[in-house]
Amino acid sequence: MALASDVPTPSALESTLRAQSQTRTLHDVRLHHLALQVLHNLQHQHRWTRLTTHTFSPLTGAPLPRPLISGLPPARLYVHPDEQIELLKVEAERKRKGEEDRADGGGKEDVFGAPEREWVLPTHLMEKWSLRQFAEVFDAITVAPLDEEAGEGRELKGNKWRTTKRVVMATVQDDSTVVYYLVHNGIVKPRQN
C-alpha cells in the first residue's frame, strides 16, 4: 500500500537497537536499550573502540544495577591534575633535551600518554538518582575496566595515578543528545583545564 511505503527507513540507531534487541534481558529492556544507544553514540560520534557491555559485576559476580559499558576513548579522557603537572614537567625536560640534539627529530607523541579504558554509566535525563544508587554502581566496578582483547596482564601495569574509581556518566536526552560527565568516587580535586 501507499502508506506502507511512506514509512521512512529506520535510522542507524533504530536498526542497531532492532538488531541487538533481545527478548529476554537480565535488566529492564529499557535500560538495555539505553546502554545500546549510548554505546552507539560512543562508537560513531566519539570514535571509541573495544566497546563492551557488562551486565555482571567484575568484582562480585552479582548482576550490576544496570548494564554498564566499558571502552577505549581515542585519546586520554582524564588526567589527574597532579599527574598533569608531572607529565608537563617531563615534557618540558624532553623538549629541553631535544633542543640540545636536534638530530633526533623528536617524536610527536601525546604528552598525556596512551588512552585508558573507561567505565561508562548510561542514564536518561528524566531519571532521578540518589547517593545510594551511585554507591551501588561504584561498589560493583573495578578501578579500571579489564581489557579482554589485550589480555589480563594489561590491567596490572595500569597508571599509578589511577587510584580512585571513576565512571563516565552518559546522560541521554529524549532528542538523542548525549552528554558525558566524569563521576569520581570520593574527593578528587578538579582539573585546572
Partner 1 sequence: MADITVAEPFPIFAVANKYILYDINTVTYIRRVHHICGVLIGNIPQAAQQNVFSGIPLELIPEEARLLVERGSAYIVDDVASHRRGLTDLSAAERIAFVSVLEKQGLEAALAQKRKADKKREKHFEKAGGKARKRGPDREDTELESASASYAVSRAASVVPNDSDVQPLCITPTTSYPPLSAPKPTTALLPPASPSYDLFAHLHSKDYFLSPGLRFGCQYLAYPGDPLRFHSHFLANGVAWDQEISLLNIVAGGRLGTGVKKGYLVGGKDDSRDEVRVFCFEWAAM
Residues that bind partner 1 (CB under 8 A): 46, 73, 77-78, 123-132, 134-135, 138, 168-169, 171, 179-193
Provide the Cα torsion 108, 147, 116, 25; round to 10°.
130
Kind and range of the H or E element at 87? helix 81-100
CA distance 164 to 176: 30
Closer by beta carbon to partner 1, 96 or else 189: 189
Report the nearest approach of partner 1 to the CB of residue 169 (Å).
Answer: 8
Closer by beta carbon to partner 1, 33 or else 166: 166
Compute how many other C-beta atoms are within 10 angstroms of the C-beta atom of residue 34: 20
Cell output for 31: 535500560
Closer by beta carbon to partner 1, 23 or else 45: 45
Closer by beta carbon to partner 1, 36 or else 137: 137
The residue type at 119: W
Report the nearest approach of partner 1 to the CB of residue 170 (Å).
Answer: 9
Report the nearest approach of partner 1 to the CB of residue 143 (Å).
Answer: 15
Report the nearest approach of partner 1 to the CB of residue 4 (Å).
Answer: 39
β-pair type (118-124, 49-56): unpaired
